[in-house]
Amino acid sequence: MTGNNRAVTGRLAISDLTIRFGSRQVVAIDGLRLDHAEILGLAGESGSGKSMTTLAVLGLAHTVGANVSGSIRLDGQELTGLSQEDLRAIRGRRIAAIFQNPSTAFNPVYRVGTIMTRALALHGATKSEAADRATDAMRQVLLQPDLMRRYPSQLSGGQLQRVAIALAVALRAEVLLADEPTSALDVTVQAEVLDLLRDLRESIGMSILFISHDLAVVAELCDRVAVMRQGLIVEQGPAGQVLSAPANPYTIELLESVPKLAGTT
């Protein structure tokens, strides 16, 4: 790694980041930024380090036994090296995350609304304020606020993923880490969730790090794309450019692996 002083700016800026398990280095990223109201796609095959990178941004990499060094800045504030206490205030509140399988991302013993209002209360909202904000957020993701009275098992996968996004909205998160948020959903629901993410970027200027191995989805949604392989970013640039005129042999390989319907080009 060349430790340089090249300033990486943006809402979320990662430089010189390395993640290790013991002596094995799994991720080494130098220079990845996410701007205000931008959707950045992070693509790559399984095991390329996409999810480890999100865990590191959340400050949770140590929970799976990894060591993180380097710099992760949120609006210029350094996150690596912050105490767990300080990080807890940032997680959820400023950086929210949604996960691959929404049906397992909610504790089955509580009502959806309870989960939402508790999370809001945790980050300083009063009870009535929390209820109002949760209701507003539900409307914003085009869900009936009534659904907050239901248990997670009574909602569909698409609805739950919207609730997860609503929670990020209610928390007024600036950065949303979306780790394969549509992989477990069927295609029509997937399209709705993608529309929703696009809307949020427009309406509240949310910055979204969209992690996916599905290049078709990345091409459709993202402004810029970073392609990861074996923990390194092999190519990064505007989505159109990277996906239509890839420079890196791995990107070309990855694009060729996307199945095409006969007759379409």
Partner 1 sequence: MIETPTITPPKAAIPRGAMWRGLRANPLLAVGGGVVLLIVIVAIFAPLVAPFPADAGTATHPFEVLKAPSAAHWFGTDQVGRDILSRVMVGARVSPVIAVIVLALACLVGIPLGVAAGFLGGWVDEVIMRVTDVFLAFPPLLLALALAAVLPASLTSLTIAIAAVWWPWYVRLLRGQAASVAGRPYVEACRALGISRLSIIFRHILPNSITPVLVQVSLDVGGVILTASALSFLGLGAQDPVPDWGLMVAEGQNYFTPDWWLVTFPGLAILVTAFAFNLLGDGLRDLFDPRRSFLR
Q: Can you point out the beta strands (E) in the chain?
A: 12-21, 24-29, 32-34, 39-44, 67-74, 77-78, 95-98, 175-179, 207-212, 224-229, 232-238
What is the identity of the amino acid at 20? R
Residues 6+ positions from 198 with CB-CB distance below 8 Å? 39, 221
Give the whole-angstrom CA distance, residue 184 versus residue 26. Answer: 25
Q: Containing H/E element for 192?
A: helix 187-204
From the CB of 129, what's the least distance to partner 1, in Å?
17
Determine, following the binding rule CB under 8 A, whether residue 125 of this chain makes contact with partner 1.
no
Among 19, 42, 43, 119, indicate the residue that binds partner 1 (CB under 8 A). Answer: 119
Give residues 58-77 in contact with partner 1 (rule: CB under 8 A): 58, 60, 63
Give the whole-angstrom CA distance, residue 95 versus residue 172. Answer: 9
Among 11, 123, 162, 224, indicate the residue that binds partner 1 (CB under 8 A). Answer: 123
From the CB of 119, what's the least distance to partner 1, in Å?
5
Determine, following the binding rule CB under 8 A, whether residue 91 of this chain makes contact with partner 1.
yes
Segment interacting with partner 1, rule: CB under 8 A, options 2-10, 35-43, 91-99, 245-253: 91-99
Contacts with partner 1 by CB under 8 A lie at 58, 60, 63, 87-93, 96-97, 99-101, 104-111, 118-119, 122-123, 144, 146-147, 149-151, 154, 164, 167, 171
